Chain A
Amino acid sequence: MSAHFAPRIVTANHLLQGGVIYLADNDMWVDDIREAEILTDEADAQLRLLFAEQQPDTVVGAYLAKVTVTEHGPEPQHFRDQLRRTGPSHYAHPSDKRFENV
């Protein structure tokens, strides 16, 4: 069954800071997706999600995000998770000069 299971990572927002965080294999929450624990087994993934959900005083809105495993670490499959990783895209837009001329 785990052969057909797309790899996941556990991600959430930090209760106090609000920022995007990922669950690492040492049970710590990290900012860098490359340090996230990659879950390749469905039962295991559910357990890790449960572990995250049991920390309501640290994190909000934990969920499993699908990733592709690459040599640079996990790459989110969905563009929403990609945006959560990179931050808003519009200030990188080629024509936005706002922060240059003010």
Chain B
Amino acid sequence: MYKYTEFDKAFLLQRNSQFRAQVQRRINGQLTEEEFKPLRLMNGLYLQLHAYMLRVAIPYGTLNSAQMRQLAYIAQTWDKGYGHFTTRQNIQYNWPKLSDVPDILDTLAEVNLHAIQTSGNTIRNVTADHFAGAAADEICDPRPYAELIRQWSTDHPEFQFLGRKFKIAINGAIQDRAVIRAHDIGLQIIQKEHKLGFKVIVGGGLGRTPMIGKTIRKFLPESDLLPYIEAILSVFNQSGRRDNKYKARIKITVHEKGIEDIRTLVEDRFHRIRPTYKGLDQNILESIKMQFPPPQFVKADSTHFEQTYETDPIFRSWVDINTSEHKADNYVIVSISLKGHGQTPGDATTKQMQVMAQVAEDYGHNELRISHEQNVILPHVHKSNLPQIYKALRNHGLATANIGLISDIIACPGMDYCALATARSIPIAQDIAGRFKALKIEHEIGPLKLKISGCINACGHHHVGHIGILGLERAGKEYYQITIGGDATSTAAIGERVGPGFSAEEIVDAVERLIYAYLDMRKEPEETFLRTYQRVGLAPFKTALYPKTALAA
């Protein structure tokens, strides 16, 4: 894992002292709220419905046990004993006081964590594949590049006051687990004639106008990374729209000007900027790479694991569902579900964070990851340790075997916390998970991504859910629209709206109708919901969802 240099430490200390002073100036009246807001936002501090909210970056989703313990400590000391892991590889604390935030930031700095650029109209914290460094299908670990981009974008003087937020994601495996096509810039590591480089995708995004990103450069050599993304940002900063907040993202710039024009502008800028990078960045990249070595894999006897797997069906089901293939022999990747049926997707208590930290320390080479699906990952686990891990997790409500199933729901905070929300999302997630648990058909349904957002901003990724739910308001009441057929992977697609929305009371029944329709229509158990939709299209699902209207028509 990346260790902070003296430079990183000094930077962070200075930054925190600046923020402390900014808070003081706000309180003294030297800064107006209008001036203070962008400053607090670029340090991750929002004002929500009930309180401030502090969004802390988990750099490219990677944590060690000490860092996880510190997150737990903060939840305990300055919050209400829990935190919320988000689709952006952040943790959000929902109850800090403004006057405590400088202390919280100093506490984070002790373990090389921060909240810089987790919000605001700037380059946000870079996200990456949560299986990075572990996945069997990996071409190259994306994290060193993500760290390089973190350093480059941190306090970048040109890009702290962009027209709108800017999100970069990077994936280094065959499968896209970082949703790179729904980001302002998506980077896919590729290999061409033994040379590493990137396919650069630009102009993806969700929100009010969802768009799948377009390829701007088919192959960008590794060493051109910073000047090239700097060129993209330079073009965006200058020519992105600033007259309308809803048209200010780069996806709109790309859409309005066309990808060819944008490419020409970017390439021109790139040639001007390129000579300013003479190799220092590459030296730093090399030293970062050295800090992401594979763990010291061990050899161990897994007889106990095999026996438990044979004899304990509940354990077996957890192993089958919550582990993924690792590059090393006899290793697996464990996904810890933060989606116990009826619980709040992504929330973890202080105790749970401590338990996960301990398990990682005892059995997981001290490493943890946060996935954009709001779960926690143990990236390197020898099979022989699975029974003990399972036991430790189960005692703390962390052993739900539902990864990738219908109850593994992504849900944004919605109206329970968010000042922008038009409806609640968490209780809907709780109801749906509870319903399918009661129906006992979750495993029969198989892989299904259900994603819920509490407003059009789409923080819950509903557009790319196999089933997406969007919470809106009509006549003073919450109601929910359903989209189907979205896809967040390399074959990214935006879901299609099925029809009119449902009230909070109707929405769970509606999802159930959709699911039974799918079970009826699928050719074989292996045909997933998404495949079935792709084969039969929207119409039969529509009929299932609106039986009365269909009869009338």
Residues of A bordering B, CB below 8 Å: 13, 15-20, 56-57, 60-61, 77-80, 83-84, 87-91, 93-99, 101-102
Q: Which of B27, B94, B352, B416 contacts A83 (CB 8 A)?
A: B416
Is the beta-carbon distance between B347 and A16 smaller than 8 angstroms? no
What number of A-B contacts does a CB cutoff of 8 Å give? 100
7 cross-chain pairs, A with B, having the tightest CB-CB distances, nearest first: A95-B342, A88-B416, A18-B51, A18-B52, A90-B426, A95-B434, A102-B351
Is the beta-carbon distance between A84 and B29 smaller than 8 angstroms? no
Shortest Cβ distance from residue A87 to the other chain B in the assembled complex, whole angstroms: 6
Chain B residues with CB under 8 Å of A56's CB are 29, 32-33
Q: 28 A-B residue contacts at CB 8 Å?
A: A15-B27, A15-B98, A16-B27, A16-B97, A16-B99, A18-B47, A19-B50, A56-B32, A56-B33, A77-B476, A79-B476, A79-B478, A80-B415, A80-B421, A84-B50, A88-B416, A89-B426, A90-B424, A90-B427, A90-B430, A93-B342, A95-B341, A95-B430, A96-B430, A98-B349, A101-B397, A102-B396, A102-B397
Is the beta-carbon distance between A99 and B349 smaller than 8 angstroms? yes
Question: Known contacts A18-B50, A99-B349: does B416 contact A60 (CB below 8 Å)?
Answer: no
Chain B residues with CB under 8 Å of A84's CB are 49-50
B426, closest chain A residue (CB)? A90
Report the Cα distance A17→B97, complex, angstroms: 5
Chain B residues with CB under 8 Å of A18's CB are 47-48, 50-52, 95-98
Report the Cα distance A84→B415, complex, angstroms: 9
Interface membership of B535, Cβ < 8 A: no
A95, closest chain B residue (CB)? B342
Report the Cα distance A39→B32, complex, angstroms: 28
Shortest Cβ distance from residue B522 to the other chain A in the assembled complex, whole angstroms: 28
Is the beta-carbon distance between B98 and A17 smaller than 8 angstroms? yes
Chain A residues with CB under 8 Å of B27's CB are 15-16, 57
Chain A residues with CB under 8 Å of B26's CB are 15
Interface membership of B344, Cβ < 8 A: yes
Chain B residues with CB under 8 Å of A90's CB are 344, 416, 424, 426-427, 430
Report the Cα distance A83→B427, complex, angstroms: 13
Interface membership of B340, Cβ < 8 A: yes
Is the beta-carbon distance between A97 and B342 smaller than 8 angstroms? yes
B342, closest chain A residue (CB)? A95
Q: Counting chain A CB atoms within 10 Å of each CB, which of B27, B396, B415 scores highest? A: B415
Report the Cα distance A37→B139, complex, angstroms: 64
B425, closest chain A residue (CB)? A90
A57, closest chain B residue (CB)? B29
Report the Cα distance A20→B51, complex, angstroms: 7
Q: Mark B314-352, 1 if CB is under 8 A from A, else 0.
A: 000000000000000000000000001111100101011
Question: Known contacts A77-B476, A83-B415, A98-B340: does B47 contact A89 (CB below 8 Å)?
Answer: no
Shortest Cβ distance from residue A82 to the other chain B in the assembled complex, whole angstroms: 10
Report the Cα distance A60→B342, complex, angstroms: 34
Chain B residues with CB under 8 Å of A98's CB are 82, 340, 343-344, 347, 349, 397
Interface membership of B192, Cβ < 8 A: no
Is the beta-carbon distance between B397 and A97 smaller than 8 angstroms? yes
Chain B residues with CB under 8 Å of A57's CB are 27, 29
Interface membership of B440, Cβ < 8 A: no
Q: Counting chain B CB atoms within 10 Å of each CB, which of A60, A61, A83, A102 scores highest? A: A102
Interface membership of B245, Cβ < 8 A: no
Report the Cα distance A10→B344, complex, angstroms: 31
Interface membership of B548, Cβ < 8 A: no
Shortest Cβ distance from residue B435 to the other chain A in the assembled complex, whole angstroms: 10
Interface membership of B194, Cβ < 8 A: no
Shortest Cβ distance from residue B26 to the other chain A in the assembled complex, whole angstroms: 8
Chain B residues with CB under 8 Å of A89's CB are 416, 424, 426-427
Q: Which residues 6-39 in B have Cβ within 8 Å of A in the complex?
A: 26-27, 29, 32-33
Q: Counting chain A CB atoms within 10 Å of each CB, which of B50, B94, B478 scores highest? A: B50
Chain B residues with CB under 8 Å of A94's CB are 342
Interface membership of B417, Cβ < 8 A: yes
Is the beta-carbon distance between B430 and A83 smaller than 8 angstroms? no
Interface membership of B278, Cβ < 8 A: no
Chain B residues with CB under 8 Å of A80's CB are 49, 415, 421
Shortest Cβ distance from residue B187 to the other chain A in the assembled complex, whole angstroms: 35
B95, closest chain A residue (CB)? A18
Chain A residues with CB under 8 Å of B347's CB are 98
Q: Which residues 66-119 in B have Cβ within 8 Å of A in the complex?
A: 81-82, 94-99
Question: Known contacts A56-B32, A99-B349: does B476 contact A78 (CB below 8 Å)?
Answer: yes
Is the beta-carbon distance between B415 and A79 smaller than 8 angstroms? yes
Q: Counting chain B CB atoms within 10 Å of each CB, which of A15, A16, A79, A88 scores highest? A: A88
Interface membership of B477, Cβ < 8 A: yes
Report the Cα distance A57→B344, complex, angstroms: 35
Q: Which of A19, A61, A77 contacts B51 (CB 8 A)?
A: A19
Report the Cα distance A88→B418, complex, angstroms: 10
- Assuming A13-B47, A79-B478, what are 11 further A-B pairs, CB within 8 angstroms? A13-B51, A57-B29, A60-B47, A84-B50, A88-B50, A88-B94, A90-B427, A95-B433, A96-B344, A98-B343, A102-B396
Report the Cα distance A61→B51, complex, angstroms: 12
Chain A residues with CB under 8 Å of B349's CB are 98-99, 102
Q: Which of B32, B47, B342 contacts A96 (CB 8 A)?
A: B342
